[in-house]
Amino acid sequence: MEKIRMSTPLVEMDGDEMTRVIWHMIKEKLLLPYIDLKTEYYDLSLKHRDETNDQVTMDSAYAAQRLGVAVKCATITPNGQRVTEYNLKQMWKSPNGTIRAILDGTVFRAPVLVKGITSCVINWKKPIILARHAYGDIYRNVEYRVPGKGLAEICFTDEDGHETRLPIHQFKGPGVIRGMHNTDESILSFAHSCFRYALDCKQDLWFSTKDTISKTYDHHFKDIFSDLYENIYKADFEKAGITYFYTLIDDAVARVIRSEGGFIWALKNYDGDVMSDMLATAFSSLAMMTSVLVSPHGQYEYEAAHGTVTRHYYRYLKGEETSTNPVATIFAWTGALSKRGELDGIPELCKFSAALEAATVATIESGKMTKDLVPLFEGEAQSLSTEAFLDAIAQGLSARLD
Ligand code: NAP
Ligand code: MG
């Protein structure tokens, strides 16, 4: 069989530990036999980030801007312990944070559903895609431990030196305060990404905040979404037969639980952080959660939602057999290849990606899976090593492509 040719390279961002091991197995067993894989390769392993003073991370993000589609392996975000373990020059920032800061945009997370692993929420029949705003709020806050009696205020000084002051609280004793912010620019790009993604995958878009309590901050998010919808996206939504729906977050949580899924749920940074773990666990596990960063300029970066699975890697280094789940990483590749196919007009790439996704799901449904899924599976389940599981998928894929 002739290999599928690509016209534009994918930006390949290699990573760390167990996921790096899996990364190369996926390429060798599932991709290279069928695709004349063209990638612009960036090694984002911690060692190489350190060697390049993290320049490689920035270069990879600029490459994603230039080429439009990237696929990223999980990477270590160093902490104190990693600085010692890898003898680092400094505690480099989170690569995902760096890439997000360059590309801007929104992270969309969706579970991979398989028959035999039912969600804890029995009425969920279709995936719920979560869109998390990835800038500001408590993740960029300034906090202060109030030592005792005193007045806490918000003070804004404009360019001309004018001060606007608002009292927060007259403390009668010790306590805590926090200041946080967001910008119109970032909220606008979040909203654009959500509306575009909804149109891309033809699904309803829900958005929820706590605007009843936060009458300026959260309400501003609500207003920006509503303005964009009314003035830019409404006609396209109506044409696509999808809806935009705003509701208070309390009401949204209740509706999400009662729904059958099949929509995109956009959330502010903290709400998205918490709810994505809830959704991943309720649907099955983090190892089955895919993730894509969509920039407001139409660039895409696909990855798995989980980390580098360190505990498994240390066992792998000792020569022990590991059973790490590669599904989210496979879907990062299929997402990226399929998007490349769509942008470059190469339907074979989209067909291949669909076949690989179907083969992956079918392998699990046939009872072959990694160890983490076994307790969740309703039928007879066989626990395989990562490599044996990938071999089983490769067999299914080859049968499908024949
Ligand atoms: P993790 O790598 O997601 O793993 C946490 C635990 O979840 C694992 O020990 C394992 O549980 C289970 N797990 C996660 N993914 C799995 C998979 N594919 N197959 C089977 N089990 C899986 O999170 P972490 O241990 O907190 O972080 C490890 C490193 O990853 C850190 O250095 C962190 O900075 C980095 N990280 C990177 C990203 C990213 O690049 N996007 C995201 C998060 C974390 P058991 O051990 O019980 O089997
Ligand atoms: Mg979290």
Ligand number with the minimum distance to the CA of 291: 1
Distance from C-alpha of 191 to C-alpha of 135, rounded to nearest angstrom: 12
Query: Amino acid identity, residue 28?
Result: E
Q: How far is the CA of 277 from the centre of ligand 2 (A)?
A: 6
Q: 63 and 2 in one domain?
A: yes
* CB of 322 closer than 8 Å to CB of 332: no
Q: Which of 72, 191, 78, 207 is nearest to 135 (CA)?
A: 191
* 260 token code pair: 């059958």
Kindly indicate the confidence band of residue 136, based on its pLDDT and cuts at 50, 70 and 90. Answer: confident
Non-local (6+) Cβ contacts of 229 within 8 A are 195, 237, 244
Tell me, yes or no, if the pTM score tops 0.85: yes
* 270 token code pair: 């903290």
Please check whether residue 110 lies inside any domain of the structure.
Answer: no
Please check whether residue 111 lies inside any domain of the structure.
Answer: no
What is the length of the chain? 402
* 221 token code pair: 């998010």
Given 156, 179, 202, the domain boundary residue is 179
Q: How far is the CA of 8 from the centre of ligand 1 (A)?
A: 31
**Residue located nearest, by CA, to atom 37 of ligand 1:** 307
Is the per-residue pLDDT at 105 higher than 90? no
Is the per-residue pLDDT at 1 higher than 80? no
**Residue located nearest, by CA, to atom 44 of ligand 1:** 307
Query: Residue 72 CA: which ligand 1 atom is closest?
Result: 40
**Residue located nearest, by CA, to atom 8 of ligand 1:** 309
Q: 247 and 171 in one domain?
A: no
Query: Amino acid identity, residue 296?
Result: P
Q: Is the CB of 372 under 6 A from ligand 1?
A: yes
Q: Is the CB of 100 under 6 A from ligand 1?
A: no
Hey, which residues does 109 pair with through a beta bridge? 130, 291
Note the pLDDT of residue 191. Answer: 95
Best probe residue, ligand 1, of 47, 306, 371 (max atoms within 8 Å of C-beta): 306
* CB of 137 closer than 8 Å to CB of 110: no
Q: Is the CB of 383 under 6 A from ligand 1?
A: no
Please check whether residue 112 lies inside any domain of the structure.
Answer: no
Q: Is the CB of 74 under 6 A from ligand 1?
A: yes
Give me the number of domains the chain comprises: 3
pLDDT for 149-196, tens place per residue?
Answer: 999 999 999 999 999 999 999 999 999 999 999 999 999 999 999 999
Q: 156 and 79 in one domain?
A: no
Kindly indicate the confidence band of residue 312, based on its pLDDT and cuts at 50, 70 and 90. Answer: very high
Helix (H, G, I), strand (E, B), or coil: what is residue 397? Answer: helix
DSSP 276-330: HHHHHHHHS-GGGEEEEEE-TTS-EEEEESS---HHHHHHHHTT-------HHHH
Q: What is the DSSP letter of 378?
A: S
Given 262, 283, 304, the domain boundary residue is 283
Ligand number with the minimum distance to the CA of 385: 1
Q: Which of 160, 252, 250 is nearest to 205 (CA)?
A: 252
Q: 185 and 174 in one domain?
A: no
Task: For residue 305, give the CATH number of its domain.
Answer: 3.40.718.10
Measured in whole angstroms, the distance separating CA 59 from the mean position of its chain's CA atoms is 20
Measured in whole angstroms, the distance separating CA 116 from the mean position of its chain's CA atoms is 25
Supply the mean pLDDT for the chain: 95
Q: 127 and 272 in one domain?
A: yes
**Residue located nearest, by CA, to atom 1 of ligand 1:** 307
* 173 token code pair: 């004793």
pLDDT for 36-64, tens place per residue?
Answer: 999 999 999 999 999 999 999 999 999 99
Return the number of other C-beta atoms located less than 10 Å from residue 81's C-beta.
8
Distance from C-alpha of 198 to C-alpha of 196, rounded to nearest angstrom: 5
Q: 383 and 393 in one domain?
A: yes
Please check whether residue 247 lies inside any domain of the structure.
Answer: yes
pLDDT for 241-294, tens place per residue?
Answer: 999 999 999 999 999 999 999 999 999 999 998 998 899 889 888 899 999 999
Q: 269 and 224 in one domain?
A: yes
Q: Is the CB of 77 under 6 A from ligand 1?
A: yes
* 211 token code pair: 């605007």
Distance from C-alpha of 301 to C-alpha of 13, rounded to nearest angstrom: 10
Q: Is the CB of 306 under 6 A from ligand 1?
A: yes
The percent of the chain in helix, strand and coil, each rounded to the nearest 5, is 45, 20, 30
Q: 154 and 191 in one domain?
A: no
* 359 token code pair: 């083969």
Q: What is the DSSP letter of 121?
A: S
Q: 90 and 40 in one domain?
A: yes
* 133 token code pair: 């705003």
Q: 256 and 200 in one domain?
A: yes
Structural domain boundaries, residue 215: 118-137+181-283
Given 162, 179, 196, the domain boundary residue is 179
* CB of 50 closer than 8 Å to CB of 92: yes
Q: 165 and 195 in one domain?
A: no
Ligand number with the minimum distance to the CA of 313: 1
Please check whether residue 291 lies inside any domain of the structure.
Answer: no
Percentage of the chain beyond pLDDT 90 is 88
Best probe residue, ligand 1, of 57, 308, 331, 385 (max atoms within 8 Å of C-beta): 308
Please check whether residue 225 lies inside any domain of the structure.
Answer: yes
Distance from C-alpha of 50 to C-alpha of 93, rounded to nearest angstrom: 11
Is the per-residue pLDDT at 118 higher than 90? no
Please check whether residue 288 lies inside any domain of the structure.
Answer: no
Percentage of the chain beyond pLDDT 70 is 100
Non-local (6+) Cβ contacts of 261 within 8 A are 124, 125, 126, 127, 128
Please check whether residue 273 lies inside any domain of the structure.
Answer: yes
**Residue located nearest, by CA, to atom 23 of ligand 1:** 307
The dihedral sign for the CA sequence 192, 294, 133, 91: negative
Q: How far is the CA of 54 from the centre of ligand 2 (A)?
A: 24
Q: 164 and 186 in one domain?
A: no
